[in-house]
Amino acid sequence: MTLEQRLANLERLNRNMRVGLIMCLLVAIALFTMAARPATPKVLEAEKIVLRDTNGNERGQLFANEKSWGLVLYTEGGQQALGLVASTAVNGLVISDQNGYGRQMFTSDRNQTIWGIFHPGSKLAQIEITDKLAGAEVVVRDRADVQRIELGVADKGPGLALSDANGTMRMVLSEGVVASFLEDGTIKWSPEWEKLNPEEKQRLKHLFPRMPTGKP
């Protein structure tokens, strides 16, 4: 190999080395730039998302529309187990047992908050607690969904009403007043009842404080 050939080979080798170094430098700059770039947040948008277990059974839903949005979860048998809903009118939470019977319900709107406790199969809450502008009250119903006890506090003071199996109020205890009633709603007895004349009795009947529900 002549001297000229050796010099040519050496020059070609130097050029290859320079190209390789430049490529390595460009790759390093690109990797550094990608690492320094902030991660773009990932957003998933949907009007409804269905939750399924590993066997493909539907276990819940996330949903949203123009009037209400929330979360619904299902029992093992597919009945509603829990519902959390917000809406333009009222917000609420419904809790059911494993058989799908609604057992508790919480609702709130601009005017009142209600907590109801249900017995399986009952249409009305067996125990219902309400707080609203007129006052607060607790209502207890029997298994036939008939209101039997009502305890409340209103502007006129506290009151307790007891009703019979037909829902007719039979006894009232309020601030300074104790009275019992007949089935037709007329007053049967009061500590001072016999001392009053008929006109005073009639006037007293309309002065009994009403419960927060506005019921007589």
Burial of 196 (0-12, 13-18, 19+ CB in 10 A): middle
Question: How far, CA to CA in Å, does 23 sit from each of 17, 18, 30, 37?
Answer: 10, 9, 11, 21
Q: What whole-number distance in Å separates Cα of residue 95 and Cα of residue 145?
A: 19
Task: Note down pLDDT in tens along the chain; length 216 residues.
Answer: 564 555 456 566 555 566 566 666 666 666 666 666 666 677 888 899 999 999 999 999 999 999 999 999 999 999 999 999 999 999 999 999 999 999 999 999 999 999 999 999 899 999 999 999 989 999 999 999 999 999 999 888 899 999 999 998 888 888 777 878 788 777 777 766 666 677 766 666 555 544 444 443
Which pLDDT value is given to residue 215?
41
| Single-letter code of the amino acid located at 170 | R
Q: Provide the token pair at 184.
A: 């037709």
Which pLDDT value is given to residue 212?
45
Which pLDDT value is given to residue 213?
44
Q: What whole-number distance in Å separates Cα of residue 35 and Cα of residue 52?
A: 36
Check: CB of residue 78 under 8 Å from CB of residue 58. Answer: yes
Which pLDDT value is given to residue 155?
84
Which pLDDT value is given to residue 216?
37
Backbone angles phi, psi at 146, to 5 degrees: -95, 130
Q: Which long-range contacts (CB under 8 A, 24 or more apart) does 90-99 make?
A: 99/75
Q: Provide the token pair at 207.
A: 């002065």
Q: Where are the domains of the chain?
A: 1-43, 44-110, 122-216
